[in-house]
């Protein structure tokens, strides 16, 4: 079942990349009035959050480098103009991080996953619960992306 859950996360991510493909780098960096982040940050944040929820919570190192994680982790905000090269890295991680999650899940990397409760009141007691929670979080940020794209 987890392979299907990861695929359910992957397909909307691919669609978001397709939608944003025609935007110029300047547009992707704009923070619209009333928002505290931008389109690029939301992409990076989705990657960093799956790293935080699945890897860090399980006591594992993130698959992304620490600089990337710090820039996009929960509670962060855009601090600088993101270049085209950095955007290419985010786009690559947007898909490859899910492929790595599947490999690491299959390798039982998360066997000692601790229980915790999200800020939304969802009790997570296993890596399977964590992966099942990710589409909710992703949906929030895809909603922000869909609204922001009309404002930039």
Q: What is the CATH number of the domain that holds 39?
A: 1.20.120
The total number of structural domains in the chain stands at 1
For 42-106, the DSSP string reads HHHHHHHHHIIIIIGGGTPPPSS-HHHHHHHSTT----SPPPHHHHHHHHHHHHHHHHHHHHHHH
- Residue 119's domain spans which residues? 2-148
Give me the residues of the chain with pLDDT under 70, please: 1
CA-based nearest residue to 137, from 3, 70, 45? 45
pLDDT for residue 3: 85
pLDDT for residue 2: 82
């Amino acid at each position: 079942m987890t392979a299907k859950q990861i695929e359910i996360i992957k397909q909307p991510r691919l669609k978001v990349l397709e939608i944003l493909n025609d935007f110029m780098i300047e547009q992707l960096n704009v923070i619209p009035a009333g928002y505290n982040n931008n389109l690029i940050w939301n992409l990076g944040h989705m990657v960093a959050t799956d790293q935080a929820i699945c890897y860090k919570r399980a006591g594992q190192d993130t698959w992304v480098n620490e600089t990337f994680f710090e820039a996009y982790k929960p509670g962060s905000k855009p601090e600088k103009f993101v270049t085209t090269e950095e955007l290419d890295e985010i786009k690559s991680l947007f898909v490859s991080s899910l492929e790595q999650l599947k490999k690491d899940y299959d390798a039982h990397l998360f066997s000692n996953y601790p229980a915790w409760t999200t800020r939304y009141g969802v009790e997570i007691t296993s890596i399977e619960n964590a992966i099942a929670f990710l589409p909710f979080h992703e949906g929030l940020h895809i909603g922000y992306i869909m609204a922001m794209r009309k404002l930039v």
